[in-house]
Structure 1
């Protein structure tokens, strides 16, 4: 088969300790999955999980030990950080039971769900989709993926974000409202999940604005760290 123009390169993420890369199929995100963040955003607690998506090519992955430069996006004056655990799927499926979800996980990474908060809030007020607030270019910075077999206990890991050396967000993965397994179960009821899917699992409290020149350091215990510079 020929194409009218050369197809774009496949978006991919590096894997710690390996030379091959993880090809990205889709990027799913879970909204309001930590209680204190749900409250700070106007939620009421353990609501039914809801999801949105980012383009696969929104991922922004630095070289090992390097800083990824993220251009400050257009159309916004209120760019927010949201540090998240990202689950990378190695097997797909539909109607996956929570008890079987671990079999579908390839590995984990730390990510940032960058958000044009002013645009997102405008869309909320109008009852319109959030795509313009969430799915823009470079909106999903991502550290290298650590294979699941090399992660001792992701459920008790610490998750944190510093901006210019000052702590902004800090929590533990066990404070998720919907666990990793429950999230995969719910997602797989709505979509047929595929190898290469990434799931951003929600952010803890403390989200806030960043400006050009700011440096973001995102960490989760046992995973490769992520450093991003807003330019």
Structure 2
């Protein structure tokens, strides 16, 4: 590839990321409906022409931020943990991301506000549920989840419960207490789904491996 072409592509990518950062800042502050393309351009430091070159509409920008949510989570180093603990840790990773990444916060807010779009899209929720379902199904196969538990229903409940917990935490404490509230969620849930003899294997507040990752390399805005 010619040097000039590579340089143009690099500049284009820098501009694209600046637009996404600006859009995230605007959406995080005001939500989808109250954010204008002018607001996004101002936060991005680019012209509207440059913005339209990369994204055809405000909705296209919003969908890009929604789509990248899981890419913005802190890397998980808990692959050796039991599957149900990985599900617990996933919610804490999301909680950490909500507290530390503007782009993740914007993406989550936009998921909740999808009803503002012309055609509400359940895909983000379904992706979360599918990720949790895989972990819960593995846990059930290992005997860590009671056999009578419906894996699909439980996974949908976990995602819905987390969504409600994080909104409540945002309203009440600007998410300062989010990890505590997520730990509470699991503390009340685990006895209903895990055989009593195995409860002690799981940490509702997140595994030590998870917190080593978070404390050693927290995501930044």
Task: Give the TM-score of the pair, scaled to structure 1.
Answer: 0.26
| CA radius of gyration, larger in | 2
Q: Name which structure has the greater RCO, CA cutoff 8 Å, separation 6+.
A: 1
